[in-house]
Amino acid sequence: GAVVSQHPSWVICKSGTSVKIECRSLDFQATTMFWYRQFPKQSLMLMATSNEGSKATYEQGVEKDKFLINHASLTLSTLTVTSAHPEDSSFYICSVSRGRGYEQYFGPGTRLTVT
Amino acid sequence: AQSVTQPDIHITVSEGASLELRCNYSYGATPYLFWYVQSPGQGLQLLLKYFSGDTLVQGIKGFEAEFKRSQSSFNLRKPSVHWSDAAEYFCIPGSSNTGKLIFGQGTTLQVKP
């Protein structure tokens, strides 16, 4: 497998503030990174696909201005939740992949709580 | 588009018993198929994958899965379940075009002593 880290592992922020979550691929250069969110007792929902050096591709219904994704290098992607609200509270998970047709390796997730 | 169905939302087995988790796929061409596991408080882990070739795939932690085109199935099996196998299991089709994984509801496995 591959080692993927996320930072922070949990964060509490006040409504209206922004929060940045980092995802790092520690074992290989990830051509593609993905961001998911997961609500309690629910499955993962894909938010966006991010290729290094390109703009992220967002899934339908995901606000790109609210969830800013930056994939600056082959080992780092960041998700910024802007002007967070309580309904943004969720578990955010990233994954990395060598590209199309390859498996994904997942990070441990970040628990975001917006008060 | 390819899709999978996991007919069992929740399964309970006794420790030491055999396990089979069902996965049915719907796709014209040979699909990419993955089994992932999400344990409580832990990240998602790849158990095994099928891209092509040998239809019996061996994975980690003693799991295996068999791709059966005639039955459109990719069931996950383990001969003897351990208490630590209690988790959420996802059978997921991969996309050779986009690389995306679209998660379904999964199967929750409970292991009783």
Cα of A11 to nearest chain B Cα, Å: 16
Chain B residue whose CA is closest to A110:
B43
Rounded CA separation B2/B61 (Å) = 27
Cα of A46 to nearest chain B Cα, Å: 7
Q: pLDDT of B17-70, one tens digit each?
A: 999 999 998 866 667 899 999 998 778 999 999 988 889 999 999 999 999 988
CB neighbour list of residue B10: distance below 8 Å, 6 or more residues apart: B107, B108, B110
- What's the DSSP call for residue B78? E
Cα of A63 to nearest chain B Cα, Å: 19
CB contact under 8 A, B103 and A100: no
Residue A54 pLDDT grade (very low, low, confident, very high; cuts 50, 70, 90): confident
CB contact under 8 A, B104 and A108: no
Rounded CA separation B39/B50 (Å) = 22
State residue B65's pLDDT score.
97
In sequence order, the β-bridge partners of residue B75 are: B66
- What's the DSSP call for residue B9? S
Are A100 and B99 within 8 A, CB to CB?
A: yes
Cα of B99 to nearest chain A Cα, Å: 4
Coil/strand/helix, residue B20: strand
Find the CB nearest A100 among B45, B99, B106: B99
Mutation target to probe the A interface, by most A beta carbons within 10 A, among B100, B102, B107 is: B100
CB contact under 8 A, B43 and A44: no
State residue B78's pLDDT score.
98
Judged by average pLDDT, the poorest of A26-30, B82-86, B88-92 is A26-30
Q: pLDDT of A17-40, one tens digit each?
A: 999 999 999 988 888 999 999 988
Judged by average pLDDT, the poorest of A27-31, A61-65, A83-87, B94-98 is B94-98
Chain A residue whose CA is closest to B87:
A41
Across the range A35-49, mean pLDDT stands at 92
User: Count of residues for chain B?
Assistant: 113
CB contact under 8 A, A101 and B96: yes
